[in-house]
């Protein structure tokens, strides 16, 4: 008896063509699903951080900066935190635009930018971090005061507030005059700094 299941039955050329035509659609669908999952993931993180008190921070002067008072003593100001790293290509691309905005607000009463240069993990060598930060700003012709988060205390607090429990760079968040996180961005694109600018104006108007 012939075993038809064991025979190699060639596909008709029209069927092969149909299968090939479905491949781009399948790939597009996979990318779409992945994009939706990323948006959901970021949305959950944003929801868990927004409108929550930031609490204590532990930042130390790194470049062109002076010691900070406790966060409670900085209430009454709009605080813009920007965590970035010279080692991240996306952070490098976005830093110039960020520095332009930060310098535009340098003499603006009621607004303070807190730029935090970061290593991927715990800051084991602050002097090396300082050298890398200065060199980067020199090469990019974008200089702003920078702080360090030596024990990752501040980043750790923020990570705990995120549903993912992780930390990504660059990260920008705005804390209002009462110490509450009001806006939050992971990553950056051409419109991010414009959104930061608009958020600052809105909070200043609410005062």
Number of C-beta neighbours around residue 52 at 10 A: 14
pLDDT > 90 in the chain, percent: 53
Q: Which fold does the domain 50-206 belong to in CATH? A: Glutaredoxin (3.40.30)
- Is the pLDDT at 139 greater than 50, yes or no? yes
148, 116 contact by CB (below 8 A): yes
Angle, alpha carbons 77-60-156 (nearest 5°): 85
pLDDT digits (tens, 9 = 90+) for 5-43: 445 555 555 555 554 555 555 555 554 434 433 433 444
73, 106 contact by CB (below 8 A): no
185, 195 contact by CB (below 8 A): yes
Reading across the β-sheet that carries 171-175, which strands appear in turn? 60-63, 146-148, 111-117, 78-84, 171-175, 181-186
pLDDT digits (tens, 9 = 90+) for 157-171: 999 888 776 788 899
Give the separation between CA 91 and CA 126, rounded to whole angstroms: 19
The structural domains of the chain, with segments of one domain joined by +, span: 50-206
The model carries a pTM of: 0.76
At 66, the pLDDT band (50, 70, 90 cuts) reads: very high
pLDDT digits (tens, 9 = 90+) for 98-133: 999 999 999 999 999 999 999 988 888 999 999 999
- Beta partners for residue 159, in sequence order: none
- Give residues with Cβ within 8 angstroms of 70, minimum separation 6: 56
Q: Which of the residue ranges 14-18, 139-143, 150-154 would you say has the lowest mean pLDDT?
A: 14-18
């Amino acid at each position: 008896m012939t075993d038809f299941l064991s025979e190699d039955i060639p596909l008709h050329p029209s069927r092969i063509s149909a299968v090939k035509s479905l491949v781009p659609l399948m790939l597009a669908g996979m990318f779409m699903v992945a994009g939706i999952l990323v948006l959901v993931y970021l949305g959950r993180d944003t929801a868990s951080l927004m409108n929550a008190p930031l609490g204590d921070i532990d930042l130390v002067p790194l470049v062109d900066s002076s010691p900070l008072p406790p966060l409670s003593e900085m209430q009454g100001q709009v605080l813009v935190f920007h965590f970035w790293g010279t080692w991240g290509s996306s952070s490098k691309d976005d830093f110039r635009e960020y520095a332009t905005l930060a310098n535009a607000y340098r003499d603006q009463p009621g607004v303070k930018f807190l730029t935090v240069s970061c290593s991927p993990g715990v800051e084991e060598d602050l002097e090396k971090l300082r050298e890398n930060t200065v060199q980067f700003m020199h090469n990019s012709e974008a200089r702003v005061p920078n702080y360090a988060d030596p024990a990752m205390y501040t980043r750790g607090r923020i990570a705990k507030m995120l549903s993912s429990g992780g930390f990504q760079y660059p990260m920008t968040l705005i804390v209002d005059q009462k110490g509450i996180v009001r806006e939050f961005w992971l990553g950056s694109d051409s419109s991010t700094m414009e959104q930061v600018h608009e958020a600052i104006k809105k909070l200043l108007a609410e005062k």
